[in-house]
Structure 1
Amino acid sequence: MLSDDGWLPPEVVRMNTEFEASIERNLKNSNQESHHHEQTKSSQVTFAKQVQSMVQVMHEEMGNPFLEETNDLLKLDTKDIVDQAVAVAVCQAEKIGQQQYDDFVTERLQDQSTPISQPIRKNKLLLFSRPPVRLKSSSKLQVSSLKSDVSLFSRLYIACQSRDGDLDDFFRHENGMSPIIIPIWKLETREQVGSPCVP
């Protein structure tokens, strides 16, 4: 904007003076000071009431959570001990966020090796509302599968009896949602199954 001799074009000077004049007019017209929208008396009174009610509930119903003797991380409202993975994630959240910020500044602003418009990957930290998913063990899956098979067979057996069906023909067919897995029943070894096919 400035020329070599320190001269400003007249359009820039005019725009600058108009802007400064509009700011001065706005300051004179507004009697209010500029402050945060929650710095009003009603907001502060509401906040103080909410804090007092929270403290009252903590003392009367839940007890003081800061007097707990355990080193485990507790949920404040239920006093449930959170999973160890959740406790580690909560303790390391600030460190992970700081590392992501440092990487962002280095890659996008300093080195400019990554475009600034590229999204930052989402952290899927385990938190109080997202505990780790427990996978069912294979034995529990087998038990639940066998229970559903028993239920299915009993219903089909009763239906077959009431319709005068042939029970031998009924049990000759597979009646499950999926075929029976041979290794579960351990009927024959692999060598015995393949021997008739191999000359």
Structure 2
Amino acid sequence: MANLQVEVPRPPAITGLLPLFRESAHTLAMVKHGMNLIKQATELVNPGQVPVLTVDQPLYAIAKKIQWTWPGIYGEDKFVVMMGGLHVEMALLKAIGSFLEGSGWASVMTSAGVTTEGRVDSLHKGSQISRSQWAHQVTVAALYALQRKAYDDYRKTCETEDLQSFDLWSKKMATKYPQFCYWNKVLQLECLLLAFIRSQREANYTLYVETLTAIIPWMFAMDHYHYARWLTVHVTDLQELSNDSMDIHREFVKGNFVTQKSSHKFSAMAHDQIHEQQNAYVKGDGGVIGITENEGALRRWMVAGAEIARILNEFEDQFQRQRQTDVRHHEQLPSVQKSFASDLNNAISSFEKLGNPFAEDSNDLYVLDTKVIMPDEVIAAVRSMEDTGKTQFDGFVGQRIKDPSDNFYDSISKNNLPLLKSKPKKTPGKSCDQDIW
């Protein structure tokens, strides 16, 4: 995608940390205090601007409660609260990993050398973001290549007058064959992940809102109800932003909803990701280890640590600008491209050894490596999960936000969809229990 970005990246932004709080941030009092300080700092630097606050999901929920409780001071027209893009990405990585668990995907990634057996669990949990991003990039390219190969085989055996386009053929196959349907949904989910990442790297606000909206039904379907609830609120706020704060909406459309930290292409990042990197500077070289028992030293570090990190950050940036004028994204380098091509070819080969899932013509859904056949309820869940999520999403918006007939904080019903990771049901027998599928 970096090759497609024609525009020259914007100048790097000035980033930094405010003095740190020692108290826990997950309280209404501390979030409210933080909002007051941010409002004061914004007014000092840019008088008249509506402050913008980016937080993770738990803090977002608290911030929204503050906005709804004191709308005259912290309402949507006086404060823009964003849910951190990095944390949304982590939640989506976890949802995709949960969907893939038990499918044999881990065996493919291991045999292809994309990851190791000791690290494969982190791909399912999305705990290692860079490794997970790489694995899903390799997977989506491999699955698309396998799907195109299956389509080419279909074209060779099909009469010209009956030949269907790739899209029509794909829809027909997904409707007819469970194995095709499952891996087509994997491809769809991973494309959604990459589109969401692209929206941030290119500072494309329209794409950002579209992908966020598309992510929410999957959160409902996969029972990630905290993100399902609050992402719905977040997207609603973004859709109403042009009415609540025209100036902020105009800046967001220009790409200022993310931060360009470097001069490289395809490198804009969400505010919470920038914050995590700033935290890494502060915590470098031991962080607070050894001074937590000294109250005075700890307080001096809390105040001065952020400033020291800023000075080091500016020095390193200036030094790099003097030495390097290459604006390419790091994944455009030949060594990275060569590594990706190698992993991709290995992944395609590993999939084909286990059987191209898009060439399967049986009515079964099975695990790639063990060939264990899933029961009918798993097939039904896979086919219906997107529609299930959309129905819940539409109902939540209609009944709790636009025309609230239910309490917003009422619990969201779990779907508990049986997927490939589901354990076999046990049926009691006379002598012992048997696992049946």
Provide the TM-score with structure 2 as the length reference.
Answer: 0.24
Q: Tell which has more relative contact order, 1 or 2 (C-alpha 8 A, sep 6+).
A: 2
Which structure would you say has the larger Rg? 1
Which structure is higher in helix share? Answer: 2
Which structure is higher in strand share? Answer: 2
